[in-house]
């Protein structure tokens, strides 16, 4: 048997103190904590945020804190295993619920973290991204990639609520997170690219063939189209095969943001989905339907607009509780970043 690694208190006190005075520390007492054998240490806990529970507090924030005092009126989903002050749903994924009331605007800025919005409720909301006005209907995905100007507004009659997903804490952890403020943008008076230049998969504007592909050609992915695409995919997938579509850059086919990945999944009536164990952490948001997820043995029962955290390497089962209606899930994961740095893995053992 290999000997256990030496601990700090096995070392002479003066040795440790003198190292500390030089800002130096021995590796071996922490080596196995930093590089656990076989599977990472996960502090992230499987957990569920119920929309019905949090929503009243978000609306209350609308009364308590005017936009001028909030800039972004957001309640952040903080994984209890990581500590509330960390504002991490998982180590890489920041998730918030943002509220904007009728007539309000959230000022324009751009920042080094990338963000997306996934719309939960309300009519008349919009986000303008680099001059492109994106209407916000329930289930729409809107990208505001790193460095892009964005402001939000609500020209409707009731509250508009969406889920924010950002790589904020990754970028903050790199000590590279900052923002610049700007004036509210004029919009270009055009329908967004999902309704003009990138109307459907497999077609791109002709000049694209002879030019460098734009980094972010499409910033709005309308839910009505994604939902219809899932409905058409469903009969083509055998039982046990996931009915799941990834949101990608229509010019390159690559993930639409550098760090975080997005996909939508239909759970057919009565379906139980058993994805492989994955090295990526994720957040799952319920677009429609009711069911349960088993995450590392913990069963969490969900309904519409609820949100779940899935740790890295977790064993996962998602069940649609209805035998008549499909359920729809929106997934955020950090697989794009993990793939880029060469650590993404899937373990078929599930």
CA separation (Å) from 256 to 7, 95, 150, 260? 45, 18, 17, 8
Minimum Å distance from CB 319 to ligand GTQ? 30
Check: CB of residue 94 under 8 Å from CB of residue 164. Answer: yes
Residue 284, beta-bridge partner list: 308, 331
CB of 334 to ligand GTQ, least distance (A): 17
Q: Which long-range contacts (CB under 8 A, 24 or more apart) does 189-197 make?
A: 190/132, 192/132, 192/133, 192/134, 192/135, 192/219, 192/220, 193/132, 193/217, 193/218, 193/219, 193/220, 194/218, 194/220, 194/221, 194/222, 194/225, 195/222
Q: How far is the CB of 130 from ligand GTQ (least distance, A)?
A: 14
The distance of closest approach from Cβ of residue 207 to ligand GTQ in the complex, given in angstroms and rounded to an integer, is 31
Q: Residue 55: enclosing H or E segment and its boundaries? A: helix 51-64
102/107 with CB nearer ligand GTQ:
107
Give the residue with the Cβ less far from ligand GTQ, 105 or 237.
105
Given candidates 47, 67, 74, 82, which one binds ligand GTQ under the rule CB under 6 A? 74
The candidate with the shortest Cα–Cα distance to 188, out of 246, 259, 122, 133, is 133
- Minimal distance, residue 118 CB to ligand GTQ, in Å: 12
Could you say whether residue 115 binds ligand GTQ (CB under 6 A)?
A: yes
Residues 6+ apart with CB under 8 A from 66: none
Site mask for ligand GTQ (CB under 6 A), range 225-264, x = bound: ----------------------------------------
By CB under 6 A, the residues from 206 to 225 that bind ligand GTQ are: none
Closer CB to ligand GTQ, 99 or 230, in the complex: 99
Cβ nearer to ligand GTQ, comparing 98 with 194: 98
**Rounded distance, CA 58 to CA 243, Å?**
33
Kindly state the smallest distance separating residue 96's Cβ from ligand GTQ, in Å. 4
Report the nearest approach of ligand GTQ to the CB of residue 166 (Å). 6
Contact 90, 79 (CB under 8 A): yes
Of the pair 72, 274, the CB lying nearest ligand GTQ is at: 72
Q: 178-193 burial string, b = 16+ CB within 10 Å, else e?
A: eeeeeeebebeeeebb
Q: Which of 45, 50, 72, 86 binds ligand GTQ (CB under 6 A)?
A: 72
What x-and-dash track marks residues 157-186 binding ligand GTQ by CB under 6 A?
-------x-x--------------------
Provide the token pair at 256: 């639409």
Question: Shortest distance, CB of residue 137 to ligand GTQ, whole angstroms?
Answer: 18
Asked if 143 is part of the footprint of ligand GTQ (rule: CB under 6 A), the reply reads: no
| Closest residue by Cα to residue 247 from 273, 219, 276, 274 | 219
- Closest residue by Cα to residue 221 from 249, 190, 184, 180: 249
* 42, 313 contact by CB (below 8 A): yes
Size of the site for ligand GTQ (CB under 6 A): 9
Q: Which of residues 78-107 bind ligand GTQ (CB under 6 A)?
A: 96, 98
Cβ proximity to ligand GTQ, 307 vs 320, nearer residue: 307
The reply to whether 289 sits near ligand GTQ by the rule CB under 6 A is no
- Token pair of 282, please? 């994720």
Cβ 312 to ligand GTQ shortest distance, Å: 23
Query: Cβ closer to ligand GTQ: 144 or 265?
Result: 144
Structure tokens at 106: 């959230």
Binding site for ligand GTQ (CB under 6 A): 72, 74, 96, 98, 111, 115, 150, 164, 166
């Amino acid at each position: 048997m290999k000997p256990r690694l030496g601990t700090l208190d096995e070392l002479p006190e003066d040795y440790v103190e003198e190292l500390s005075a030089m800002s130096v520390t021995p590796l071996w007492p922490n080596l196995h904590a930093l590089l656990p054998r076989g599977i990472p240490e996960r502090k992230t806990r499987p957990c569920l945020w119920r929309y019905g529970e949090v929503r009243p507090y978000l609306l209350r924030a609308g009364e308590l804190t005017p936009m001028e005092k909030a800039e972004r009126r957001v309640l952040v989903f903080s994984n209890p295993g990581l500590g509330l002050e960390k504002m991490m749903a998982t180590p890489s994924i920041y998730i918030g619920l943002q509220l904007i009331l009728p007539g309000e605007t959230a000022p324009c800025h751009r920042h080094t973290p990338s963000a997306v919005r996934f719309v939960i409720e309300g009519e008349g909301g919009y986000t303008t991204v680099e001059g492109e006005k994106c209407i916000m209907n329930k289930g729409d995905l809107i990208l505001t990639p790193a460095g892009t100007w964005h402001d939000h507004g609500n020209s409707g009659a009731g509250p508009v609520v969406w889920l924010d997903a950002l790589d904020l804490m990754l970028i903050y952890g790199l000590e590279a997170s900052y923002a610049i403020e700007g004036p509210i943008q004029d919009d270009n008076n055009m329908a967004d690219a999902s309704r003009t230049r990138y109307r459907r998969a497999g077609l791109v504007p002709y000049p694209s063939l002879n030019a460098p592909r734009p980094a972010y050609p499409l910033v709005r992915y309308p839910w009505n189209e994604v939902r219809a695409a899932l409905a058409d995919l469903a009969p083509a997938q055998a039982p046990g095969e996931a009915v799941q579509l990834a949101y990608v850059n229509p010019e390159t086919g690559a993930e639409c943001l550098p760090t975080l990945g997005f996909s939508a999944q239909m759970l057919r009536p009565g379906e139980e989905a058993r994805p492989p164990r994955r090295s990526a952490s994720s957040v799952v948001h319920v677009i429609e339907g009711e069911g349960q997820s088993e995450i590392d043995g913990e069963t969490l029962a969900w309904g519409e607009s609820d949100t779940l955290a899935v740790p890295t390497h977790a064993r996962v089962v998602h069940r649609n509780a209805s035998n008549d209606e499909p359920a729809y899930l929106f997934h955020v994961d950090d697989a794009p970043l993990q793939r880029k740095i060469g650590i993404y893995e899937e373990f078929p053992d599930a």
